[in-house]
Amino acid sequence: DSDSKSDTSSGTGVSKASYDKIKIGMKKSEIIRIIGSDGEEMTNSKGGGSTFTSHKWEGSDYAIITAVFKNDVLTNKYEANLK
C-alpha cells in the first residue's frame, strides 16, 4: 500500500549515505525519515526538565547507527561498519 503513512521505502537505510545526511540539531522524526525506520529506543531518562533518549538502527553486516537526543533533537551520533 503505497499510500500508507508508515511506508518508509524512501529512506536510505542504515548506510553511510544516511549517516552523512544526519546532522546535529535535526529532529528525531527527520532522522527516522532519512533512515526509513523507527529504530530501537535504547535509553530514556528525564532530568532538569529535559528528556534524553538514544536510538539504534541496525542494518546488514553489523552496520549500526546510534543517535542521542535531548527533547527529540539530535545532540550526538555514532556509526559502526557502515558502507
In this prediction, residue 10 has a pLDDT band, given cuts at 50, 70 and 90, of low
CA distance 83 to 59: 10
**Long-range contacts from 54-62, C-beta under 8 angstroms, 24+ separation:** 55/28, 55/31, 57/14, 58/14, 59/13, 59/14, 59/15, 60/14
The per-residue pLDDT for 9 is: 52
The pTM of the full predicted model, rounded to 2 decimals, is: 0.85
CA distance 47 to 3: 39
DSSP state at residue 3: T
CA distance 8 to 17: 16
Segment 12-65, tens digit of pLDDT:
899 999 999 999 999 999 999 999 999 999 999 999 999 999 999 999 999 999
